[in-house]
Amino acid sequence: MARTNAVTASEKTKKVIAVKSIKARKPAAKKPARKASRRNSADVAKLQKVIVRGLKSGKSAAALSEELGVSRPYIYVLKNKG
């Protein structure tokens, strides 16, 4: 009887081997490219003046970015550009 118990115990502990699928996976769908908004140099110059004035008046870059609709890093770029 001891042997039958040992056999059933070993059958329970057998490991299941994962079988790799032969089918090729489909590549993940790419997000459509967002259309980049471009500003002409006159608009950039106006925006830069507004940003410099706003920062000198004590406004934070986060407040200016929300107000003007541009990103915070872009505000720092325009601030250091001139």
The Cα 39–Cα 55 span in angstroms is 21
* Residue ranges covered by each domain of the chain: 38-82
What is the residue-wise DSSP string for 58-75? T--HHHHHHHHT--HHHH
DSSP 47: H
Among the four given CATH numbers 1.25.40, 1.10.10, 1.10.3470, 1.25.10, the one describing domain 38-82: 1.10.10
Q: What residues of the chain score a pLDDT lower than 50? A: 6
Q: Which two tokens stand for residue 29?
A: 């769908």
pLDDT recorded at residue 31: 74
- pTM across the whole model: 0.53
DSSP 52: H
